[in-house]
Structure formats: C-alpha cells, structure tokens
Structure 1
Amino acid sequence: MPPVRPTRRSLIAGGLGAAAALAVPLSVSAPAAAADLVPIRLAGPTGPLPVGAVELHLVDPSRTDPWSGQPREVMVTVTYPAVDVHDRRMLPWLPAGAERALKARFGGAVDGYALPQTHSADRAPARPGRRPVLLHSPGYRSDRTFNTLLIEELASWGYVVAAVDHPYDSSEVEFPDGRVVVNRPDDASDEARTAAVLVRAADLRFVLDALAVLDRGGNPDAERRPLPRGLRGTLDLTRVGAFGHSRGGAASALVMYLDERVRAGIDLDGALYGPVVEHGLDLPFLLMDTAIHDGLNQDGSWPPFWRHLRDWHRCLRLADADHNSFTDIVAVAPQVPEPVRQQLQAGTIPADRAVAAVRATVRAFFDLQLCGRPDTGHLLRGASQRYPEILYIAG
C-alpha cells in the first residue's frame, strides 16, 4: 500500500511540517558508506555578501519547559553578512545526531542520501555595519534549517537572521552535548496548538533578549562557545521583523502582538492562534498562501485576523504551490526517490522558480518595512513581470 498523503485540513490547521509528512514507515535499509551517499544540494544565496553563521544554545531559567519540566532551552542559528568565508567549514543542514533522527523518520528510504551542506561559514568574522534583525520560526515538526535557502539569501543582502528550534514542537533538535530531542505530537486541538504557539512566541522573545546581549558584546551561549569576531554592535534591534512557515507563521504574528520590539511580520501558509487572531496588529503584516490552503476563504483563523490588521497588510499567493513550497523541501523534493517525493507537499511549481519567488517577496517586504526601500518591482502588489508566480489576493 502506498503512503497516505495528509489531508489539507490536517496539513494547514496543524501546521504540519515536512518531517511529519514523511513519518511513514518505508522499507528499512542498512546505512550506506559515506562515499556511496547520493548528495542533496541546495543553491547558494544570490546577494553580494558572503554569509557566516553561529549556533547558540540558550537556556531560560525563568521558564519551565511544559514538555520536560526543566528550564526551557532552545537552539538558535544566527546567520549574518560575513567579511571572509575562505577556508572555513560550512555548517551542515542538520548536525549528525539530528540527521540520523530525521532519516529514521523515513524508515530507511533516504539512508543512501547525504543531506546538504549550507553556504554559511561557521563563525566567520562578521561584516561591519548595523543590520536589521529577523526572527525565524519553522513549521510544526520541522527544523530551523528547513528555510536555509531563504535565510542565507536574506543574510547575503544585509540582514541578520536568528532561526529558532522549539524543542518538542520542532522535529529533531540536537544540543551541544549530543542530546537529540524529538517532537512530541500534540492532540490537534485548538487549545493545544494555541499553547504551543504561546511557547514559541515566548521562545522568540527570549531569543531577542539574547540577541541584545550578543550586540553588547556578551556571550549568551550556555556553554560559552566562541563567537564570531566583529558581531558586536552589528545588530540593529530598532529594526526587528519576524517570519515563519506554517506554525512558525502563527508564532511570528503572536510575538508581534506580545512584544513591541518586533515591527513587521510574515506568515508563510500557516493557521493563526492566540489573542492576535481577534485583536489583530497595528503593524505591517504579510500573509502568503497557496490555492490549496486559500486562507481567507478556507482557514477560519485568517478572516478575523485580516479584519483587525490596521497597518499595511496584504495577502499574496504562490501559484502551483503546496504547503512546503515555501521551504527548502521544494528544492530537496526533485533530488529524492519518488515514493518520498510524493509525501513532500512541494506542489507542481518548478523548484528554482519557487525558491526565487519566495526569496524575492520576503526580501521586498522587509526591505520596504524595515529599510524604507520601495517595492520597485511591484512584487508586493502581485504584479511582478519577473516573478509571475506571486499572485495578489487582497490588500
């Protein structure tokens, strides 16, 4: 029997990420030798600046993790414009323990594949300058690296991006001591999902506090691991945005409602939860969906949120897309076996077109809202000749 594809309702309402969609037992095979692995590759960023990144382990003693009962801890990758990346190790898409956990979810179907390397140089010296800061939250049962294509693109054009894993809600989170925490599925009720999004929003606020320490020259990493040279003073925390895919989009909206430091946000195809749905925002917000989701007509959380947006707001659509077309999964899908590809919800849009269109739209929004650069390509009006895949829905 072929694997069963999740329904649109379970996919959107639960914010289901790629890893969950792939958690289907397939034939188990023995691990392949490293030399025999088929490489999966991701395209590099197109901006003029090389990209560096540093991983942080942050522990919040003021909060108790609702799943573990211990102080809440998160893993974060901070990606930024770098001075020089030559002769430096590029971070893997997933560290080794998390990669093994993810492959186990495939039941052996991708054991013969090497997950990609990023184009982010580990702890490369930071390029001088005050940079706008973006917080990123991934989808439910997804990982913070699943939007690497977008994150590296933003950094290559001058942004600092802090991508956050939310342990027990994200798919697999590896800590510096080798522990790998995997997702604990919620009960799919609105109450459980709202509670999870509230935890995510608190995580993002805590990370923003840690970024302030980083900008002052402190080291918020729990193990005090070395930081990149030159990062101090480069984070402009008066220009902060948030964006996320699926449940991460809900967290982005909610953190804006709860924390006035976050000035603009994007929800990439996610249902919304929490008080922001009924109260809305006085700040710029972009919704992006697919025809499968059709958020303003088929997602009960989008219309009330939309009615209560009182600043710049727009709803755009990625044509011929499915839920994971906003993530790296759209580029991974053509490189894996057909039985796996069928589970990836990547749509029929060509991968290179999806990646280019999402990158350009997200950057155009933050360029406008955080940097004051006009949308000269008319992307945010769904009228770009260069990116016809971006459609205007409302605004």
Structure 2
Amino acid sequence: MRLFEVILIVTLIAAAAAQMAKSGANWSRVFTVLGVLVAIWHVLHEGTHWQMFPVLAGLVLLVAWQLLPATRRAVRYPAMKNLVAIACALLSVTTFGLLLIVPMFTLPKPTGPYPVGTRILYLKDSSRTEDKAEKPGTARELVVQLWYPADPSNNHLAAYERRSETIPLTSYRSVLWTNSREDAPVATQGGPFHVLLFNHGWAGRRTLNTFLTEDLASHGYVVASIDHTYNASRVELPGDRIVDDTDGSSLLDTNLHSVSEITETWNKELSKWVADEVFVLNTLQSDNLDQASPWYGRLDTHRAGALGHSFGGAAAVQMCSVDARIQSAINMDGWTFGDLRQRAANQPTMFLYGIAGNSPSPPPNSATMGRAERAEAELDATDRNEVDTSLRQFGGYKVSINNTAHMDFTDHPLVSPWRRWTQPDHISPSRIETIVRAYVLAFFDQTIRETKPALLESGTSSPFRGVKIEHWSSESKAASVETALKPPLPK
C-alpha cells in the first residue's frame, strides 16, 4: 500500500470512531477535513484506482452527513449518527482488504548507476503481412517499449501499464508507478549502449519483467521489449485499436494434439517472433544513424543480446541462429524450439530453470501417466537433450534455482501476495529477483562487454544458496559448480 492510501484509511477510521464517541464531534470534523485533503493529494499525485473506491465512498458519506445542519441531524436522523460511522469504518476495512488481495505492488529499485528512462514505440513492418488481421494485406504492426540509461530528469514516472492495455481488474496498474521516467533524455555519458531484445512469454506482455528490464537499463543496456501482436495479452495500436491475444490454447491442448503437432504450432509462431526481433533490431540500427533521432550515436546494435521468459526465451535463443549481431541469449524457464545447431560457438547461451523443490523431480513412470502428462514428459526429454547437446557443442550456462515456479521469473510474485500461503516453500520475491538480476547481468557483461564477472568465474562457488550452475566451454565437458551453503551477498 502507498503512503497516502494508508493515511486515508487510518484517517477515515479515526473520523468514524470520533463520531461515535460522546464528545468526539469536533475531532470527527477535524479528521474528516484531513481525510478530504489526503484524498485530494492521493487522487492527484498517487492516482486512484478501484481498490480505493470503498474508502472514498465512505469519505463522501461522512462529508455528506457532516454537511447536514446539526439540528437536523439531532432531531430528524438521530439514529443515523452511529450507522454512518460504522459504514465508514467498514468501507475503510474493505479497502484495506482489497489492497491486501490485489496490492499496489512496488517494483525493486534498479541497482545500477544510471537513472532509467522509458518510451513506447509504434513500428510497422511493411515487408510483412499480418496473417491474423481482419483485413487481408495488413502490415505487421508492433508496440515496443524501451528501457534505457538516462540523464536525471523531472519527467513523470512511467505507469506499469497503459490504461487502454488493461482490463477492469488490472486497471490499477495504470497508476502503479515504476522506477523509470517517461521519455527521459538518453544518457549523455557512457555508451554507445548495447541493445538487448526482450520477449514476453506465450500470451504475456512487454511489461511482465519490468523488475529485470529496469535493472539492466540502470547498468547501461538499452532493453527493447516487444509486444508480439496477436499473442501479447493486450496491445494498443494507433487509432485506439485494441488487439487482444488470439486464443490458441486449443492448438496446444495435449489431449487433442500430438507433440509433433504442438511443436509445429510453436515453431510457426516462433518464426514470426524472430522476424519481429530482427525488424526491431534493424529499426534501432537505423535510428542510431539518424541525426534526427534521440538515439543517434547512442546505440550499439552490432554487439547485441536477446532474452526472454518461457516461449520468449525460445525466440531469444533462436535469434542466435539467424542474426550474427546477437552475441548471446538467455532463455528463462522455457522449452527451446527451432534449431539450436545453427548458432555459432561465439554465441553462448544461458538457460535459467526453476525447480519446484530442492532437487529435480525423478523421471515419471510412463505407465501411470495420462496422455497430457506423457506429452509434457516427451517435450521435457526432447528439450533437455537439445539444450545439453547445444551446450556441449557451443558452450554456455545452465542455472537451476531451487524452490521456484515458472512465473517466478517474472513480476508475478509481486502481483500475487497470496503466493506466500499457496506456495510457502518457494523463495521470496526479493530473493528470486536478486538471483535472476545477478545472473542475467553477469552473463551479458561477460558475453557482450567481454568483462569477467566474479559470479561466472569458473571454479568459484555461487553466493546464492540453492542454485546449481553448470558451465560448458565450447566443445568441452560440463563443469558443475554447486552453491555454497550461505545466503546471497547483500545488495
């Protein structure tokens, strides 16, 4: 909960309690006036949202009651005094409960030396047509959000999501402020800045890993997060056009389709996502050469990287096979599709995996599995074989993190506080954020900036308990490094 939200709830409860007291009428008026001032500040500066509607309704009710002449309240509505106070208190408690269930979460502060700026780009690739558009021949359209190192500015903090790209339940995110300044000036010191392309997961959205994209930008990277239109959860295009994700769940139903059919569906979508990435990188490369662009001379697109969560991780790794500008790629807890054999030895990859407990689950018994379970087991086995073969041939890292789930590699643990009760054994949001941030940054620093981060130095132990690191040099055997039994290093 944010500061003035808490103050407003407490103030209204105090006003209600004072109204019920025998000699508290004056104090009730004082608290009501204070509540009005706090509410105005909250609406104008924090931004109100649906979770606050009950307490605001309670404040309106209390103001309306106190605006009635005292004689009328005493003579005509004597029984209403306590009822109004109780209603205000209950409405305040309701808001408190809503904010616990659906919180205005706080993104972790970036750890790098640069302030972070962000801006949203609309791009049209006229060389491709959109196969899912209602009008045949429509060009492929994309929305891309950039996070980048910025100069200090007083620009407004950016919202987590644009209001038009939310639904009623998630509309509060349009007034949930990030750590990034809207359209802040690009940093004049340092650079040119290496570009990293980010892909969301299947039916995800470009902002779902803001905890990571902001941090990378603060360390001097320009992160371009792509909404892959018609698969992204909701995208606003020019002309107030809203495009929701096309429901492809039936095409991925393991009870209806074989593994080969599902893989074919994924590979078809994968080729589209990779084409999106190439187009975005080409656009940024052109902007870097355009004297009228704010990115003129500030970008390094020739030594770039790619990363993504889930299916987006597969798209990131596939970029190594089609674009030599991509020096390295990270797949965060996703199966890998496409052709890993096409990447080069100078394009290392990192695979981050979540493990539900403290160790990988034993191989399932195929005799007791249903069709869906057998399909998933087959996909798991194929993925492990492809990834390990690729790592042995070309080098890279595999990082396994105990007590984590698939969505823990995104902002989701912040969005859903009930995780601490429904998944009590999982590591805390702050811990998984620290681990993911550290390994992603170290990997790109090593592979793109050609530094030697201590975190990835071969033969050293990890500072994170519950993390297993496997490192392959090109055409060499894996060297495993188990974590030391000690807590993570302090930030």
* Normalised-by-shorter TM-score class: 0.7 to 0.9
- Specify which structure has the bigger relative contact order, considering alpha-carbon pairs within 8 angstroms and separated by 6 or more residues: 1
Structure 1 residue aligned with 2:158: 91
Give the stretch that moved more between structures: 170-179 or 126-135. 170-179
**What do the CA deviations read for 1:71-104 (whole angstroms, capped 9, x no partner)?**
101110111110113x21122111001112xx5x
> Of the candidates 359, 366, 370, which is equivalent to residue 437 of structure 2?
359
Larger Cα-atom Rg: 2
> Of the candidates 171, 174, 177, which is equivalent to residue 117 of structure 1?
177
Amino acid at match of 1:126: V
In structure 2, the CA distance between the partners of 1:121 and 1:41, relative to structure 1 (3 Å rule), is same
Question: How far has the Cα of 1:175 moved from its partner?
Answer: 2.2
Give the stretch that moved more between structures: 205-214 or 172-181. 172-181
Question: How far has the Cα of 1:306 moved from its partner?
Answer: 2.7
Question: How far has the Cα of 1:380 moved from its partner?
Answer: 7.6
Task: Give distance in 2, aligned partners of 1:174 and 1:333.
Answer: 25
Amino acid at match of 1:118: T
Superposition map of 1:46-57 within 5 A: 46-57=111-122
Segments of 5+ residues of structure 2 without an aligned counterpart are 1-48, 57-94, 253-261, 364-379, 473-491
Determine whether 1:78 maps to 2:142.
no
Task: Give distance in 2, aligned partners of 1:112 and 1:274.
Answer: 38
Structure 2 residue aligned with 1:196: 269
Task: Give distance in 1, aligned partners of 2:328 and 2:388.
Answer: 15
In structure 2, the CA distance between the partners of 1:113 and 1:164, relative to structure 1 (3 Å rule), is closer
Amino acid at match of 1:259: D
Task: Give distance in 1, aligned partners of 2:159 and 2:109.
Answer: 13
**For the Cα contact (< 8 Å) 2:443–2:456, is it kept in 1?**
no
Structure 2 residue aligned with 1:11: none
> Of the candidates 251, 254, 271, which is equivalent to residue 318 of structure 2?
254
Provide the alpha-carbon RMSD of the alignment.
Answer: 2.9
Question: How far has the Cα of 1:299 moved from its partner?
Answer: 4.3
Superposition map of 1:214-225 within 5 A: 214-217=287-290
Question: How far has the Cα of 1:217 moved from its partner?
Answer: 2.4
Task: Give distance in 2, aligned partners of 1:238 and 1:261.
Answer: 5
Q: Percent same amino acid among aligned pairs? A: 29
Higher helix fraction (1 or 2): 2
Superposition map of 1:1-395 within 5 A: 31-32=50-51, 38=99, 39-68=104-133, 69=136, 70-85=138-153, 87-100=154-167, 103=168, 108=169, 116-128=176-188, 129-186=191-248, 187-188=251-252, 189-217=262-290, 229=294, 231-276=295-340, 279=342, 281-282=344-345, 283-292=347-356, 298-309=380-391, 310-334=393-417, 338=418, 348-378=426-456, 383-385=461-463, 387-393=464-470, 395=472
TM-score by length of 1: 0.79
SS at structure 2 position matched to 1:272: coil
Structure 1 residue aligned with 2:368: none
**For the Cα contact (< 8 Å) 1:382–1:391, is it kept in 2?**
no
SS at structure 1 position matched to 2:179: strand
**For the Cα contact (< 8 Å) 1:250–1:271, is it kept in 2?**
yes
Segments of 5+ residues of structure 1 without an aligned counterpart are 1-29, 220-226
Question: How far has the Cα of 1:66 moved from its partner?
Answer: 2.0
In structure 2, the CA distance between the partners of 1:48 and 1:97, relative to structure 1 (3 Å rule), is same
Task: Give distance in 2, aligned partners of 1:171 and 1:394.
Answer: 35
SS at structure 2 position matched to 1:181: strand
Task: Give distance in 2, aligned partners of 1:379 and 1:194.
Answer: 35
